[in-house]
Amino acid sequence: MKPYFFKNLDLLVLLALFCSVAGLWAFIEMADEVKEGQTQRIDEAIILLFRSAADTKDPIGPPWLEESMRDLTALGGVAVLTIATAAVAGFLILRRFWRLLLILIISSGGALALAVVLKSIFARPRPDLVEHLSYVHSSSFPSGHSMLSAAIYLTLAALLGRLVTQPRHKIYIMTVALFVTFAVGLSRIYMGVHYPSDVLAGWSAGAAWASICWLAARFFESRC
């Protein structure tokens, strides 16, 4: 039997513990602020920063920037995330990494279910002060795109990081995952479909969920 989990807290475990606790705390604090309406003014002010002062229907920047933001926001959509998850799952199946595959399924499926539950609980209306540049059909808090991209891309990065040995390779993989997650969240504000507080809450919840799943996997591996 491998040494007991909590007696061997390496740097990665400590970092994951910090991310899970910090993420949960940040989400709870953000949810409380949103419920009391304390973020509304700054939320609306930031959204308007991404629109022309003369016409709120017109996003700032040239046409190619708007098109790029549409492309980036799609990276956090269910369709793209499903394809990315399925592609990695197929690779894990080919390599017979059954434990990693189980982690991936639980993390991605659990994140989607959690996002749906949280949206139904808070039921925050979408921003209505600017025209939406992307189709939406659910409530606003937390941002599902931000939460799912954080949970799934960070989980994929953690799983792929276990398949490489060089520290710089691990750092590169995680950096790409963080950048994509950030870009997706920013695009949701630019598209006018989410308040910044929705995005921050989504990032917090997604990062916390990914960290918890990773810690759970590490714990059960140490007991085998």
pLDDT in tens, 135-172: 888 899 999 999 999 999 998 998 888 788 888 898 99
Among residues 23, 28, 26, 18, the alpha carbon closest in space to that of 215 is found at 18
In a domain, 154, yes or no: yes
On whether residue 21 sits in a domain, the answer given is yes
Tens digit of pLDDT for each residue in 166-196? 888 989 999 999 999 999 999 999 999 999 9
Band of residue 222 on the pLDDT scale cut at 50, 70, 90: low
Question: Are 205 and 28 a contacting pair, CB within 8 Å?
Answer: no
pLDDT value of position 223: 63
Q: What is the pLDDT of residue 224?
A: 54
Calpha distance 77→95 (Å, rounded): 27
Select, from the ranges 36-40, 90-94, 124-128, 197-201, the one with the highest average predicted confidence (pLDDT).
197-201
How many structural domains does the chain have?
Answer: 1
In a domain, 24, yes or no: yes
**Domain membership flag for residue 1:** no
Predicted pLDDT at 95:
87
Based on the residue annotation, tell me whether 145 is a catalytic residue of this protein.
Answer: yes
Quick one: tokens of 187? Answer: 């695009």
| pLDDT tops 90 at residue 94 | yes
Query: Residue 96: which region, alpha, beta or left (left: phi > 0; alpha: psi -120 to 50)?
Result: left
- DSSP assignments along 108-152, one per residue: HHHHHHHHHHHHHHH-PPPP-SS--SS---S--SS-HHHHHHHHH
Look up the domain containing 80 and give its range. Answer: 14-34+62-223
Q: Active site includes 194? A: yes
Percent of the chain, pLDDT > 90?
62
Place 7 in a pLDDT band, splitting at 50, 70 and 90.
very low
Q: How confident is the model at residue 5 (pLDDT cuts 50, 70, 90)?
A: very low
**Of 218, 180, 198, 173, the residue nearest 12 (C-alpha):** 218
User: Which whole number is the average pLDDT over 99-125?
Assistant: 91
- Averaged pLDDT score across all residues of the chain: 89
Report if residue 56 sits inside a domain: no
Mean pLDDT for 57-80 is 93
- How far is Cα 127 from Cα 153, in angstroms, rounded to an integer? 26
Asked, for residue 41, whether it belongs to a domain, the answer is no
46 located within any domain: no
Q: What is the mean pLDDT of residues 202-222?
A: 85
In this prediction, residue 32 has a pLDDT band, given cuts at 50, 70 and 90, of: very high
Instruction: Establish if 141 belongs to a structural domain.
Output: yes
Residue type at position 119 = K
